[in-house]
Chains A and B, each alone.
Chain A
Amino acid sequence: MLLEMAAGGFGDRVAVGSLDGGLTVKQVFDHAGVAAQRFRSANVENVAMIDITSPSLPICLFGASWAGLPFVPLNYRLTNQELDALLERISPAIALMQPETQERTSGNLDVHSVTRDELVASSNPEIEIPTDWNMDGEDTAILLFTSGTTGEPKAAVLRQRHLVSYILGSVEFMSAGEEEAALISVPPYHIAGIAATLSNLYAGRRVVQLPEFDAEKWVELVRSESVTSAMVVPTMLSRIVDHLVSEGTDSPGLPTLRALSYGGGKMPQPTIETALKLLPDTNFVNAYGLTETSSTVALLGPDEHREAFSSSDELVRRRISSVGRPLPAIEVSIRDEQGNELPSDEPGEIWVRGEQVSGEYKGLQLTLTEDGWFPTHDGGWLDKEGYLFVTGRIDDVIVKGGQNISPGEIEEVLLQHSAVADAAAIGLPDQQWGEKIVAAIVLHEEQEADEGELKDSVKEKLRSNRTPDEIVFLEELPYNETGKLLRRVLKEQLVDLGDGSTV
């Protein structure tokens, strides 16, 4: 439906790729029709994608919807065994993958393959494009496997009605000017990669894809393709900032970049402050969302960034580290452990409600409450003006001496120290307190800070039970490729290290 509207409204605009040589909206529509026919005749239950992002992504995504089949993007970095395990769960399936990926999968599974080139090959006269595009709102549009840090990965179900609600609730049709272009550098198996593909197409904005993130290439593409907007995860932004800084005073900056949105994890405050200074003409948007909520549910807009950044009122200033306010179609509520609503300024669990919220996992019981609320497992609080602050996963909360301590607030303070490049606070078993707070610190090159100094910096700003019991210096912290800190891996590393060692 979204693609059909776009093809009817601005079919000649370039949807994906360079202005010269990219695919137009009409071409994506035609290729998706051919793909839909191919998927249907394969007699499968799912359409998978085990590949980096490419113009075949929108074709595969829309082709699957057209055929009434779930689109299942898988992480191409998984091991062969992990891939096979997931493919087994979704077979019979057809998968967009290159021959080298196919060689990695077990031949015993009922999985057909189609390559990138086959999906964008010029129209095949032997395949008739289906004319029926009457998908049902209840059809599963996307199955997205969660990163699965504990146990077997869960498959989040997003139905057509969730995604369409998200797009209609947050994007105005054909609202982009013809000169606009969005750079997508998040992979297809990340909800932001899917949401960006849909919302930019619906807005009529050309999409430029960067398959594997690299700060230098990202900056080059913004300049060569005159990119006007982009979405990045925190680790990407900090590398982009480093790259721009390394260009020195001769840096041409990024003059075409009007909007930069970030999300998908906690952004260190120094990074965003440096970015605001380096890119004074760029509008910054902080977006908060989850796979289960069809991407963004709250955002901090450009004016709110500027206001917070320049305010002398501490209550306004701290909003720079909030995720802003809920989208118009979304309600947010903070609940205690019994599910009772908490007043503003009190921390609890973030619950969200809205048409775009799915909260459904394949084969598991619906996690929505009877009245439609989705408990996110994220901790947070709302200020009096309704700005949402996210403190991190509830499962990551450190319980020391019966007190719940959120790692996020400790990390935030540590990151403000000029020598600290990265920081993570976690709880390790402790005989006396149940858990003790261990802070893992990565220092900037050629900078120093000692344990006492770092502990003091936390003691000055937070209640005394927040002061780390131990500081451990590491070369780097473990992240997955979409910039999520792997706390469980870090915990294992620290347990192995014993006390206070330096790596």
Chain B
Amino acid sequence: MALLKAGGRWASSVCDTEVIVVKGPEGEVSLTCGGVDMVEAGSDPVSGELDDSGDGTQLGKRYVDDEETLEVLCTKPGAGSLGANGNALQLKDAKPLPASD
């Protein structure tokens, strides 16, 4: 369990996935990838076995929980899928803005 602050970078313990937190809920969250706890980027991974039954993560895509209180952006893709407090995160639909610069 950890507090997920916007801008925080987290790495999978069991695959190549890395994410950056775009929006985090107020309380602590257990953020997982491939079923195993993610760790702050740069720190040692925790041990566990990769569950690669999901679709994995895609570079540049956003993932949200059901209430959309948590949003992360995938900065490195991997085989594991993301979860928070035991529930799978969902791919968020892009709502493109017109380019302004």
Query: Is B79 at the interface (CB under 8 A from chain A)?
Result: no
8 Å CB interface, B50-73 against A: 59-61, 73
Chain A positions within 8 Å of B96 at CB level: 172, 175
Interface of B, helix, strand, loop or mixed by DSSP:
loop
The answer for the CA separation of A447 and B59 in the assembled complex, in Å, is: 58
Query: Is A143 at the interface (CB under 8 A from chain B)?
Result: no
Q: Name the interface size band of chain A.
A: 35 or more
8 Å CB interface, A148-203 against B: 161, 164-165, 168, 170-175, 182, 192, 195-196, 199-200, 203
Is there contact, CB below 8 Å, between B6 and A8? no
Chain B interface residue count, CB cutoff 8 Å, equals 20
The answer for the CA separation of A135 and B88 in the assembled complex, in Å, is: 29
Given the interface pairs A5-B75, A137-B7, the reply to whether A285 lies near B100 with Cβ below 8 Å is yes
Instruction: Looking at the assembled complex, report how far the CB atom of A68 sits from the nearest CB atom of chain B, in whole angstroms.
Output: 15
Please report the number of residue pairs spanning A and B whose Cβ atoms sit closer than 8 angstroms.
78
Chain B positions within 8 Å of A372 at CB level: none
Is there contact, CB below 8 Å, between B98 and A301? yes
Is there contact, CB below 8 Å, between A285 and B98? yes
- Scan A285-314; emit 1 where CB is below 8 A from any B CB, else 0: 101010000011001011000000000000
Closest-by-CB residue of B relative to A166 is B101
Query: Is A358 at the interface (CB under 8 A from chain B)?
Result: no
Question: Which of B7, B73, B75, B100 is close to A287, meaning CB atoms less than 8 Å apart?
Answer: B100
Chain B positions within 8 Å of A171 at CB level: 97, 99
The answer for the CA separation of A165 and B77 in the assembled complex, in Å, is: 21
Is there contact, CB below 8 Å, between A283 and B94? no
Is there contact, CB below 8 Å, between B59 and A295? no
Chain B positions within 8 Å of A295 at CB level: 100-101
Chain A positions within 8 Å of B73 at CB level: 168, 173
Is there contact, CB below 8 Å, between B101 and A231? yes
The answer for the CA separation of A192 and B100 in the assembled complex, in Å, is: 9
Query: Is B27 at the interface (CB under 8 A from chain A)?
Result: no
Chain B positions within 8 Å of A263 at CB level: 100-101
Is there contact, CB below 8 Å, between A173 and B101? no
Chain B positions within 8 Å of A261 at CB level: 98-101
Question: Which of B75, B94, B100 is close to A299, meaning CB atoms less than 8 Å apart?
Answer: B100
The answer for the CA separation of A9 and B59 in the assembled complex, in Å, is: 7
The answer for the CA separation of A173 and B74 in the assembled complex, in Å, is: 10
**Residue among B42, B60, B77 facing the most chain A CB atoms (10 A cut-off):** B60
The answer for the CA separation of A259 and B101 in the assembled complex, in Å, is: 10
Q: List residues of chain A with CB under 8 Å of any chain B CB.
A: 1, 4-5, 8-9, 134, 137, 161, 164-165, 168, 170-175, 182, 192, 195-196, 199-200, 203, 205, 229, 231, 259, 261, 263, 283, 285, 287, 289, 295-296, 299, 301-302, 327-328, 355
Can you name 13 A-B residue pairings with CB atoms under 8 Å? A5-B59, A8-B76, A165-B6, A168-B22, A171-B97, A172-B94, A173-B59, A283-B98, A285-B98, A295-B100, A299-B98, A301-B97, A301-B98
Q: 9 other contacts beyond A170-B97, A231-B101, A299-B98, with CB at 8 A cut-off?
A: A1-B75, A164-B7, A168-B22, A174-B60, A175-B96, A263-B100, A285-B99, A295-B101, A301-B98
